[in-house]
Amino acid sequence: MTGFTPTREQRAIIEYPPVPLRVVAGAGTGKTTTIVERLAAGVRRGGDPTRALGITFTNKAADELRIRLRAAIGDRSDGREVEVATYHGFATSILEEFGAFVRYRPTTSLMDEGHRSELAYRVLRGLDSTGLDLAALSKRKEELLAMADAMTANLLTVDDIERVAPNDPDEVWQKRIALAHAAESYAAAKYQLDFLEFGDLIRLAVDLVEGFDEISSQLAARYDTVLLDEYQDTDPAQRRLLTAVFSGRETAVTAVGDADQTIYEWRGASLENFIDFPQHFPRPDGLATETLPLSINRRSDRVVLDLANEIQTLLPRLEASKPLTANDDAADGVLEVGWFTSDLEEAAWIAETIEERHRTGQPWSGFAVLCRKRSTIPAIVRALRRAEIPHAVSSMGELLTIPEVADLLAWLRLLGDPGDEPSLLRIWMGGMYRVGMRDISCLARWCSHSQGRDLAVALEHLDEVEGLTPDGQERLERFRSHHVDLRARAQMLPVPRTLSMVIDQLGFWDEVAAQPSPQSVTARVNIGRFASLAHRWRPLDGKPTLAAFLRYVDALEDATSAEELEAAADISDDVVQVITAHTAKGLEWPVVFLPCLAKGTFPTRVRTYDDPGTSALSLPYSLRLDRASYVDADSAATASDRRAVLKSRHEDAEWRLAYVAVTRAKHDLIMTGHAWDQDVGKPRSPSPLLEMAHTVAGSTTVAWVSEPGPKPAPMPEEDILDIPDPLFPNDWATALRDRIDDPQWIIDHHIELVDDVERRSEQLVMQVGNLQVPTVERSMDTFSTSVTNLVALAECPLKFKWIHHDRLPRRPRISAIAGTRFHRQVELHNLGIASLGTSTFDPNDVGGVDEATGDTPGTDRRNPWEVFEESRFHASQARFAEVPFVLSIEQGSVRGKIDAIYEHDDGTWEIVDYKSGVRRDAEARDVQLEAYALAVTDGAIAGTVPERLQVTFAYFGGTACEEVSTDVDGTWITEARSHVDDLIATAVTGPFDPRPSPSCRWCDFLHLCPAGRSTVT
Ligand code: SF4
């Protein structure tokens, strides 16, 4: 027995007699608990658990149901337990037992979205005469798959469709029949390749149970009780399978669901299944099948439920369904609404708000951003990336475009095809090699003068290529050596091992580890998901080669609805999730953002009507298994009446999705939208959903722009890495503006003149004139940077600009990786987690030079960990280790992490920054300890402020630990604050002048910086 005390509603369901029953369970109303208790109650009354069956949608839900049933029923000495399956799993188990009667082969494999796309393309290309316009192949592929799905979900063949076709088919009918034939070829190809889709499993199982009475009777006789979870998401074929087995028999079938949460109609779910359950599953005693409600919400705070109930009023109601009621202990909750000028402003505000609430203790994983459209995800992701917030995007298509994954993919493509120039260029121009445009143009020129040989060939003839810079030549040679080595190793390796090899050999993990914490987590999650995709993959046919995998990935990139079909990734890392509203079903978060709520975006406008009169993809209503729910459309007097009915159906579906999205929030629901983005020519207006939230009592308005003004210019793409190029040290637009009146400059810089230079110059002048000046100002209020970047600013403002504002690619920092290892080792020691042996730090990693400092350590350099072990710090216990902090100052904030704080016997706190390099007394570094001390004295670390404070740099890169300590007093703090304020003011507005010094030798941007070059040469 559990300690569960049911509500009145729950008790009525748990104790309901063993006859068919429908349960209308509103969002968050404890549905799983109730159904578990209903099943467990039957067992506790003496029922045999093996005669009960629970069916739900996903493997995850099935696992949860299984675990909760075990807990509710308790350990049974006979080991008998309730059988739990997914809908598809139930069909599979039938096929595994009786599949020999139909065309089921146990060896068959399930296809995923990438396979589907790949096979659909193959089928379309292979058809002799399709009657389809194959010029837009991608569109035809989508249509073929949609037709195949519709035919499967309605158990149709081509003959069924042709049978109802008019004698003189119009264009719509011709296309419908052509698509149906293509879908049949697709089904045949699947069978030939020994592949099936989920829909095929159901269809074959229906063939079995409808074709063989003895099989359905045998199956029904096994169970007294059947529970159908999330029944509103079943499609007509699934319903046919269930009714063929269980309807009209003695089995007590309980269907649990919520018509208001039917959001998968576009992929076949039929609301009619739930609405007509009482007719589909009549009671054997002749009484009407009843419906009981669950309406007490245990998830969300009151204001969230107020909005959910408001949405519900717009939806058609089932008799028994009730508005959601808050649990007694529910808080008031937070509902914030905002309407911003632009998508950039909106996304930046969301990132800032997440950051603020994270600072108050909410883990990153407590936030989710639910987007109605996939196309709105990138703006959000860019803002999170800019704010260095760890996040994960659940869409596979989106995953492939994320920089770290795109880099890996480029390497795989290059290993598959050395002539893949887009991949080659991505890798060359990326952070690892940073080959400039000038060197690439030299290679391109060599190619054009060498009978059109490609860049890969040019790479083999670097000695013949004229004009390469020494740096460029060295980088290309380094790339060539890596490439040759990887190609040799990749021979005969399976795809997952090839991927692992690339990750290992090129130091991807080390680079990820060397990134600041938030980006590091994001990158790790994304690389991990891509690796998992490669591990799960198996080819449609033939060998699992790299080429086959790349074809699959191409198809996946092309599968626009792939992310909708995929349940949100089960991400355990502490990251913000950015997903579509459809994939959020069944999940919940303390804080949920619903962005981009503009008119026509959410609820969306109807793009195509599900109208058989005008759309070849819409099956005639008479052919649909759920035709009863289309009676109103079918009986419409005119085409325009039918459209009105279909429009209303579409709007209902959108409001149901809104209901699902809103009810994902436990405490804070934040709904926003924007007037301007680059896709529109006139400003958008708030969506009815946002307007509704705006008027809910208890909602707070965080921004509401009534006059959006003129369309803002696009924000510069900060996180798209600019290509480092000696020709354009600032940026392309500036260079163009600067040079447009000085054609001689082009000649001086060896740019090849083309024949029609005048005409092109004119075009260029026009284009430059049209370049928009970004109007999005960086807000002083929201400026945020890291302590590391402040040190860079103190060293050289120009370097800071290229790190923080322009974000030019930086050299892979081997010293940073080695330093990270050392710090990690010390951190573990300070946390008492592990006592590690010799550090893996190797001074040779950095070629004998501490890149971060520019120090040349000399020959007597020791392993820093050994030096640490001998120091006083090893013997002492740090009071705090690796403490992150955010220092709020007048103009913004500074993030950082303090290595350790030691507390001495006299109460003094000593802030220590460990350096793995040798001592270097550089004034610019002082800001690091200044920021740390300010954070401590402002109470940002522990809430308490020590009476005495000391700051220390401890260097472990020499033969013995060297310490540089300073006692902190009031004057020191005042000066430190003024210094940090001055630096922040410069960081926001400049000037970003170069400040050359001997350290320029190790600056990542030396090749871009004439001032730096003149210092070191
Ligand atoms: S090379 Fe020197 S002057 Fe130029 S950006 Fe780097 S540090 Fe500044």
Q: Give the tens place of pLDDT for each residue, 649-668.
A: 889 989 999 999 999 999 99
Q: Which of 805, 1009, 1013 to mutate to test the pocket of ligand 1 (most atoms within 8 A of CB)?
A: 1009
So what's the pLDDT on residue 710?
84
Looking at residue 78, its pLDDT comes to 64
Candidate from 1005, 1008, 1013, 1015 with most ligand 1 atoms within 8 A of CB, to mutate: 1005
Report the pLDDT value the prediction gives residue 723, as an integer from 0 to 100. 38
Ligand 1 centre from 809 Cα, in Å? 15
Continuous H helices in 15-74:
31-44, 59-73
Q: What is the mean pLDDT of residues 318-324?
A: 81
Tokens representing 563 are 């992310």
Q: In this structure, are residues 233 and 264 in contact, taking their beta carbons and an 8 Å threshold?
A: yes
pLDDT digits 0-9 by tens, 483-511: 888 888 877 778 888 888 888 888 777 77
The DSSP letter of residue 46 is T
Q: What are the phi and psi torsion angles at 393 (to 5°)?
A: -105, 125
What amino acid occupies position 37?
Answer: E
Question: How far, in Å, from the CA of 714 to the mean position of ligand 1?
Answer: 29
Please tell me if the CB atom of residue 1011 comes closer than 6 angstroms to any atom of ligand 1. Answer: yes
C-alpha of residue 793 to centroid of ligand 1, in Å: 11
Q: Which residues contact 217 (CB under 8 A, 6 or more apart)?
A: none
Both tokens of 629, joined, read 């729910």
> Distance between CA atoms of 936 and 932, rounded to whole angstroms?
6
Q: Which atom of ligand 1 is nearest to the CA of 1000?
A: 2
- Residue 670 pLDDT exceeds 80: yes
**What is the distance in A from the centroid of ligand 1 to the CA of 799?**
6
803 C-alpha to center of ligand 1: Å?
Answer: 11
Radius of gyration of the chain (CA): 32
Question: 832 in the Ramachandran plot: left (φ > 0), alpha (ψ -120 to 50) or beta?
Answer: left
Asked whether the beta carbons of 410 and 548 are under 8 A apart, the reply is: no
State if residue 1006 touches ligand 1 by the CB under 6 angstroms criterion.
yes
Determine the pLDDT at residue 505. Answer: 81
Could you tell me the distance, in angstroms and rounded to a whole number, from the CA of residue 733 to the centre of ligand 1? 22
Reduced to 3 states, what is the DSSP secondary structure of residue 562? helix
Query: What is the spatial distance between Cα 330 and Cα 298, in angstroms, rounded to a whole number?
Result: 8
More reliable by pLDDT, 742 or 326: 326
pLDDT in tens, 95-135: 988 888 887 887 777 787 778 888 998 888 887 766 777 77
- Choose the weakest-confidence range: 179-183, 694-698, 954-958: 954-958
| Residue spans of alpha helices (H) in 491-611 | 495-505, 508-514, 517-536, 546-558, 562-565
- What is the reported pLDDT for 341? 94
Mean pLDDT to the nearest integer, 173-198: 91
User: Does residue 994's CB lie within 6 angstroms of at least one atom of ligand 1?
Assistant: yes
Give yes or no for residue 724 CB within 6 A of ligand 1: no
* Closest atom of ligand 1 relative to the 1013 alpha carbon: 1
State the closest ligand 1 atom to the C-alpha of 796, by its place in the atom list counted from 1. 8
Report which of 483, 472, 475 is spatially closest to residue 413, judged by C-alpha positions: 483
Q: Is the CB of 864 under 6 A from ligand 1?
A: no
Average pLDDT, the chain: 81
- Over residues 273-278, the mean pLDDT reads 92
Q: Per-residue pLDDT for 887 more than 50?
A: yes
Which pLDDT does position 692 carry in this prediction? 97
- pLDDT tens for 591-619 read 999 999 999 888 888 777 788 888 898 89
Q: If you measure from the C-alpha of residue 1015 to the centroid of ligand 1, how many angstroms do you get, rounded to a whole number?
A: 9
Q: What is the atom index within ligand 1 of the atom nearest the CA of 1005?
A: 6
Instruction: Select from 798, 803, 993 the residue to mutate for testing ligand 1; criterion: most ligand atoms less than 8 Å from CB.
Output: 798
Is residue 207 pLDDT above 90, yes or no?
yes
| Pocket of ligand 1 contains residue 800 by CB under 6 Å | no
Instruction: Check if 924 has its Cβ closer than 6 Å to any atom of ligand 1.
Output: no
Pocket of ligand 1 contains residue 796 by CB under 6 Å: yes
3 falls in which pLDDT band (50, 70, 90)? low
229 CA distance to ligand 1 middle (Å) = 63
Residue spans of alpha helices (H) in 284-362: 302-312, 343-359
Higher pLDDT, 564 or 319: 319
Residue that wins the pLDDT comparison between 106 and 327: 327
Q: For residue 989, what are the contacts with CB-CB under 8 A and spacing of at least 6? A: none
Atom of ligand 1 nearest to the CA of 1015: 2
Q: Give 142-177 pLDDT, tens digit per residue.
A: 889 999 999 998 999 999 999 999 999 898 999 999
- Give percent of the chain with pLDDT exceeding 90: 28
pLDDT for residue 732 is more than 60: no
Residue reference for tokens 């579409």: 650
Ligand 1 centre to CA of 1017 (Å) is 13
**Residue 1000 CB–ligand 1 contact under 6 Å:** yes
798 lines ligand 1 (CB under 6 A): yes
What pLDDT is recorded for position 278? 94
Q: Say how many residues make up the chain.
A: 1017
State the distance from the centre of ligand 1 to the C-alpha of 995, rounded, in angstroms. 6
Q: Which H or E run includes 377?
A: helix 377-386
Q: Is the shortest distance between the CB of 1016 and ligand 1 below 6 Å?
A: no
CA–centroid distance, residue 1009 to ligand 1 (Å): 6
Does this model's pTM top 0.85? no
Band (541; pLDDT cuts 50, 70, 90):
low
Instruction: Give residues with Cβ within 8 angstroms of 92, minimum separation 6.
Output: 201, 205
pLDDT (0 to 100) of residue 874: 84
The response to whether residue 799 sits with its C-beta less than 6 Å from ligand 1 reads: yes
Q: Give the pLDDT of residue 10.
A: 93
Average of pLDDT values for 258-267? Answer: 79
The mean pLDDT of 51-57, rounded to a whole number, is: 90
Label residue 740 by pLDDT band (50, 70, 90).
low
CA of 136 to the centre of ligand 1 (A): 51
On the question of pLDDT at 827 being above 60, the answer is yes
Ligand 1 centre distance from Cα of residue 806 (Å): 14
Ligand 1 neighbourhood includes 155 CB (under 6 angstroms) = no
Residue whose CA lies nearest to ligand 1 atom number 7: 1000
| pLDDT above 80: residue 394 | no
pLDDT at 815: 57
> Per-residue confidence at 514, pLDDT binned at 50, 70, 90?
low
DSSP 801: I
Looking at residue 155, its pLDDT comes to: 92
Highest mean pLDDT among 450-459, 543-552, 662-671: 662-671
Contact between 176 and 214 (Cβ < 8 Å):
no
Between 532 and 141, the higher pLDDT residue? 141
Task: Report how far ligand 1's centroid is from the alpha carbon of 994 (Å).
Answer: 6
Cis peptide before 494 (omega within 30 of 0): no
**Residue 995 Cα: closest atom of ligand 1:** 3
Q: Which tens digit of pLDDT belongs to each residue from 963-999?
A: 889 999 888 988 888 888 888 888 888 788 889 888 8
Supply the pLDDT for residue 395. 62
Mutate to test the pocket of ligand 1, among 795, 799, 999 (most ligand atoms within 8 A of CB): 799
Axis-axis angle for helices 31-44, 59-73 (nearest 10) = 40
| Ligand 1, pocket-test mutation among 730, 789, 1006, most atoms within 8 A of CB | 1006
Residues 197 and 232: beta-carbon distance below 8 Å: no
More confident residue, 517 or 562: 517
Q: Are 740 and 770 in contact (CB under 8 A)?
A: no
397 pLDDT tier (thresholds 50, 70, 90)? low
